[in-house]
Amino acid sequence: MAQGKDRVVLAYSGGLDTSVAIGWIGEQTGMEVVAVAVDVGQGGEDMQVVRQRALDCGAVEAYVADARDEFATEYCMPALKANALYQDSYPLVSAISRPVISKHLVRAARQFGATTVAHGCTGKGNDQVRFEVSITSMAPDLKTIAPVRDLALTRDVAIDYANKHHLPIETTRNNPFSIDQNVWGRAIETGFLEDIWNAPTKDVYNYTDDPTYPPLPDEVVIHFEKGIPTAIDGRPVTPLEAIQEMNRRAGAQGIGRIDVVEDRLVGIKSREIYEAPGAIALIAAHKELENVTVERELARYKKRVDERWGELVYDAQWFSPLKKALDAFIEDTQEYVTGDIRMTLHGGRATVTGRRSESSLYDFNLATYETGDSFDQSYSRGFIEIYGLSARLAAARDVRFGKGLQVGEGSL
């Protein structure tokens, strides 16, 4: 780009804000805008329609990246292996999509000779941090800009701009929600949900049906190989297909609706509604297969690693050294997480009813109370004697000092 204008690659969704941002960035900065729409399985409009709209709104180039399989395999599957639920509830829907979108933005920046990357986030959320930290982790030379945050592109300004320039986009002042969705789930915020006493109304949901009056129970058998679902009811599936099928089947049963007040990276507590039927059902199945196949000490430790992994990913650290090292740990734990989980999907719940694995650590002969018992109970006496020794010494000392535990009068 010797003489030409500077170029900026914009993460384009096809919605009002990013459509207006194309012309707005041009006016405010003099840069040319290359629009990049990344398909992470958000559904909705045809991506070619989205691409054409970007051109109609003044983009010099517009480009669609089909990242659905990449997102499912390289982002959703690691989240599944980590049983990732931020604050024990949120399956990181938006948090895992920002790194993959960023990757495609950086790639486009290189391809189209851009110096800057732009995104449509506000200055109050996590996603601005995720985009910018991801981008700088891959391409420290690229600059970033957020028109809503940095160029005063408020919603009212956007609506007026779109009307004035006859942009081919619906402008309405009363769409109550801010929504982000992809194949791993859907996030809904703002509007009346900002009053945390208000219950979500029916129109909030789209991936899930109301679990109050569910259809008949749906039994499913999911086969995992090293922590990844590879077949459903005997039919081989790709990670993307596994998520899509479970979204459909668990969604029909109203599984995976989440309503939570969450701690944002920027310090705000915010009320979020999520629906992630496939993710929640798959995590439930995966966790149970781990219960059967992962050794006790490793399983206990992994729980802590999983939690930390989720926090890092939530906190915009997808490409960080610690996250990468924890990935290696988690990958190692999945060596034997192979086998089948049977679940009943019904009325908002995914309930495990059976497990089967060649690499199971469950030993029937050790566990059984019936004949065939191979566990020598006489060993337990000596084990408890030594295991309880330090507690006994401490208790005896308490007695000597007159501080023995009072268990009350009467017959014990």
Q: Which residues bind ligand ARG (CB under 6 A)?
A: 94-95, 126-127, 178-180, 187, 189, 262, 272
The pair of three-digit structure tokens given for residue 288, joined into one six-digit string: 């149970």
> Smallest gap, in angstroms, from Cβ of residue 187 to ligand ARG?
4
Q: In what order do the strands lie in the sheet with 185-189?
A: 178-182, 185-189, 269-275, 257-263
Q: Which residues contact 155 (CB under 8 A, 6 or more apart)?
A: 16, 17, 173
Distance of closest approach, residue 18 Cβ to ligand ARG, in angstroms: 12
Closest CB to ligand ARG among 39 and 262? 262
Q: Nearest distance from residue 305's CB to ligand ARG, in Å?
A: 20
Provide the token pair at 78: 């690691």
Q: Please, which residue, 179 or 232, has the CB nearer to ligand ARG?
A: 179
Q: CB burial class (10 A; 0-12, 13-18, 19+) of residue 170?
A: exposed
Tokens representing 304 are: 């802590």
Complex with ligand ARG: residue 143 or 264, whichever CB lies closer: 264
Q: Catalytic residue numbers?
A: 17, 98, 127, 178
Beta-carbon count within 10 A of 48 CB? 11
Query: How many angstroms separate the Cα of 157 from the Cα of each of 10, 78, 122, 162?
Result: 19, 40, 14, 9
Minimal distance in Å, beta carbon 323 to ligand ARG? 16
Shortest reach from residue 180's CB to ligand ARG, in Å: 4
Terminal-residue alpha carbon distance, the chain = 87
Beta strand residue intervals within 46-111, DSSP E: 61-66
Burial of 376 (C-beta count, 10 Å sphere; 0-12/13-18/19+): exposed
Element (H, E) at 54: helix 47-56
Q: Is the dihedral of CA 118, 11, 3, 30 positive or negative?
A: negative
Q: Which is nearer to ligand ARG, 145 or 187 (CB)?
A: 187
Q: Which is nearer to ligand ARG, 95 or 133 (CB)?
A: 95
CB of 338 to ligand ARG, least distance (A): 31
124-133: b (≥16 Cβ within 10 Å) or e = ebbbbbbbbb
Which residue, 11 or 289, has its beta carbon nearer to ligand ARG?
11
Q: Is 203 helix (H, G, I), strand (E, B) or coil?
A: helix
The residues facing 350 across adjacent strands are 345
CB proximity list for 33: less than 8 A, separation 6 or greater? 7, 8, 10, 21, 22, 25, 26, 58, 59, 60, 118
Residue number, 127 or 245, with CB nearest to ligand ARG: 127
Query: Helices in 219-355 by DSSP H: which ranges?
Result: 239-252, 277-293, 296-314, 321-333
- Helices (H), ranges, 112-266: 127-138, 147-150, 155-164, 239-252
Cβ closest to ligand ARG, residue 134 vs residue 333: 134
To the nearest whole angstrom, how small is the minimum distance from the Cβ of residue 16 to ligand ARG?
Answer: 13
What is the nearest approach in angstroms of ligand ARG to the Cβ of residue 39?
A: 17
The candidate with the shortest Cα–Cα distance to 288, out of 369, 229, 237, is 229
